[in-house]
Structure 1
């Protein structure tokens, strides 16, 4: 890929468009996306075996799995394929869930932990299988790193390694501070845990490649086709502004962008924003930053994450905005974090800056279930969406085909509302995050 991408909008950086905008945000990913076919809005009455609402990872993964089984699938997308979190995220393939397997075991028992543990490393395999099977050019690079900034976090990495190995994941290497500097060019980390089965991708190109794979199997995607109402029944009918789809099954896959289509889902989740910047191409400086081209996330509660793009820009993200407000000055938020990790990049030019929303649940575990016998949903990956959404698509396909054991392992988890309801969920959650962030700063 050319290194001569233009900076987004005017000036050295640009934030995302307003939430209602229907074109892609002004991100590095949008500027380096795959060419896409025209996908006109839905018009008139149509029928399908399955109607999927949302053309992000969850919807595309479900639709592609269903199409491979021979079902007629129609996908309705309010904006563009990969417009939401699927096209804006950090691009890191991180295993397991936002609450790890020991927490699941303590809260929900050994049986549930075994069930979810057997699937905890499957999502990344699904992605790599898709890339290979359909020749998706999304710049996949192997290797992921968890980094510890203090002695407490070093112990957490040791525990993390032992825990995952107990559940059968053995492709992990724990490195001390000296060894870690050979992986990440910073003095900040006391240890790192390298996961050789993880990796990173260009997230928007992955979504776009999956969309084209779906279309190659006869699946249909209508962009600019927001679902406005669902008439339940058998079949169900999904209405847009200009048309409708009658389907035996409906899958809701809007996540943080589902809006008010199903209020009972919105009441048990909360959109949150995260910010990312992309530097200018680093030239040969990248070898001093990430010489093995791994992706990295630190072990803080409000974590930083970063990786290199295909043209060797540093993509650096972090911070969480509860309630998904869009900060006015993303670069001012992220640059101090970037330069603290990599002082050698002080003053580096920022070419792109953007934000995107992910969906948080109170338990930090994903929510899957049925609102009616033929109306399925999956949402709330809580920051682990890249891999879980691809697993979710497979589980949704299995359930629709009557093989619901694995789907029900998630569906039986309690889906709790946030304390304080929609009015107080943001300040109360932010207060809790402040507490854990303070603990990280004090290393307690």
Structure 2
């Protein structure tokens, strides 16, 4: 049987020790079968176990193998499309529900870290950095919008203030969100998996779901076993493949690239990011970066539509890093990796139910660290019969990509090129 290891990333190289987890080789019964041991699946499993459900998790590779263990590690609030866009699309009542949830994911992460003593280098504080006056105006509007929904841990940064938190000459200002922050994302996933097992949940690795037998008592088949359940949660996101064709038609895997420098030392690292906040800029195709626990700079950006792996990741990302920090020109890159996230046409997550007992959440569109933790809570509520918050997501309109699966990649790339050009020209 194939054994899929972690990609050669900084996160895999610095992961906390974990127990060996077996592949499923039997027929088992459970209350809920969760497909995917990333943040969505692990968060769902934890909330369900805390409410008395028997839970079995199937993972095709290893815990946190996909986006959950490869991302930039930034805790960023709200959704990939902000609450004002949602409000224009669905009206004030549904937007109010979604707006009230927009800042919950970060709180859930901190609660999990504290409750289960997860060692994941959690740091508070995230900066949105503006490159133009127009972007700064957007941040001023965003602050008013978020404060309207009760989110008050925000500070606008003028040009002088942003220089105090990030040593980059590119920015005209920014906004600091102290409820944002950053983590070692794979260690967060591994800690959550340990919490799942501490509550009696079972996780099978190297156990891809190859077929779902739908019906009153659905069955998930793996290469060497099967799980019969009362409910199924599909949480595979960009790594789900065509297991559920209805979901594949309305989403597209996309790749993002990340590099990690050699350790910079305390003094050099502090000169770049004195308060150890994470940073993302306000471009459509944004760059993001932060320091690790051992004082490396993690820097990510770029999107490859259709999730192809670039031949030379460092050649794509290093110039972006040097544009922000020319002082890193002689610094060595120790790790470079790519990972896939799932994009939807609306850039809003897709949540719903197939039949009476198959639930799903997918399509975080690059905004998944906080949303996935919220999604787990919302899915668990729905299985317990409390569906108001689930329905607020499920009722969001979603559409297939133009041209179907054949043309979705070039169409999305054309759109990204257009918005990237707007960023460069300052529109």
- C-alpha deviation, 1:206, in angstroms: 0.3
Output the CA distance in 2 between the equivalents of 1:78 and 1:352. Answer: 24
Matching residue within 185, 188, 205 for 1:206:
188
- C-alpha deviation, 1:242, in angstroms: 0.5
Partners of 2:10 and 2:335 within 8 A in 1: yes
- C-alpha deviation, 1:60, in angstroms: 0.3
User: How do residues 377-396 of structure 1 correspond to structure 2 at under 5 angstroms?
Assistant: 377-396=360-379
- C-alpha deviation, 1:347, in angstroms: 2.3
Output the CA distance in 1 between the equivalents of 2:149 and 2:26. Answer: 50
Instruction: Give the unaligned 5+ runs of structure 1.
Output: 1-19
**Residue 13 (structure 1) aligns with:** none
Output the CA distance in 2 between the equivalents of 1:171 and 1:314. Answer: 25
- C-alpha deviation, 1:21, in angstroms: 7.0
**TM-score, scaled relative to structure 1:** 0.95
1:282 aligned to 2:264?
yes
Aligned residue for 2:298, secondary structure, equals strand
**Residue 176 (structure 2) aligns with:** 194
Q: CA RMSD in A?
A: 0.8
**Residue 319 (structure 1) aligns with:** 302
**TM-score, scaled relative to structure 2:** 0.99
**Residue 426 (structure 2) aligns with:** 443
Output the CA distance in 1 between the equivalents of 2:131 and 2:303. Answer: 19
Matching residue within 28, 42, 49 for 2:24:
42
Output the CA distance in 1 between the equivalents of 2:77 and 2:424. Answer: 26
Aligned residue for 2:150, secondary structure, equals coil
Task: Please list the CA deviations of residues 132-171 of structure 1 after superposition, one character each: whole Å capped at 9, or x if unmatched.
Answer: 0000000000000000001111111111111111111111
Aligned residue for 1:118, secondary structure, equals helix
Output the CA distance in 1 between the equivalents of 2:408 and 2:139. Answer: 31
Output the CA distance in 2 between the equivalents of 1:193 and 1:227. Answer: 42
**Residue 231 (structure 1) aligns with:** 213
Output the CA distance in 2 between the equivalents of 1:148 and 1:344. Answer: 20
Output the CA distance in 2 between the equivalents of 1:255 and 1:345. Answer: 35
User: How do residues 13-412 of structure 1 correspond to structure 2 at under 5 angstroms?
Assistant: 22-283=4-265, 284-412=267-395
Where does structure 1 differ by over 6 angstroms across 4 or more consecutive aligned residues?
Answer: none
Task: Please list the CA deviations of residues 157-196 of structure 1 after superposition, one character each: whole Å capped at 9, or x if unmatched.
Answer: 1111111111111110001111110000111100010001
Aligned residue for 1:182, secondary structure, equals helix
Partners of 2:3 and 2:206 within 8 A in 1: no
- C-alpha deviation, 1:415, in angstroms: 2.0
Matching residue within 398, 406, 412 for 1:423:
406
Matching residue within 406, 415, 433 for 2:416:
433
- C-alpha deviation, 1:264, in angstroms: 1.0
Instruction: Give the unaligned 5+ runs of structure 2.
Output: none
- C-alpha deviation, 1:331, in angstroms: 0.3
Partners of 2:16 and 2:187 within 8 A in 1: yes
- C-alpha deviation, 1:441, in angstroms: 0.6
**Residue 15 (structure 1) aligns with:** none
- C-alpha deviation, 1:234, in angstroms: 2.0
Evaluate the alpha carbon distance shift between residue 21 and residue 102 of structure 1 in structure 2; reply closer, same or farther with a 3 A threshold.
farther
- C-alpha deviation, 1:249, in angstroms: 0.4
Aligned residue for 1:35, secondary structure, equals coil
Aligned residue for 2:345, secondary structure, equals coil
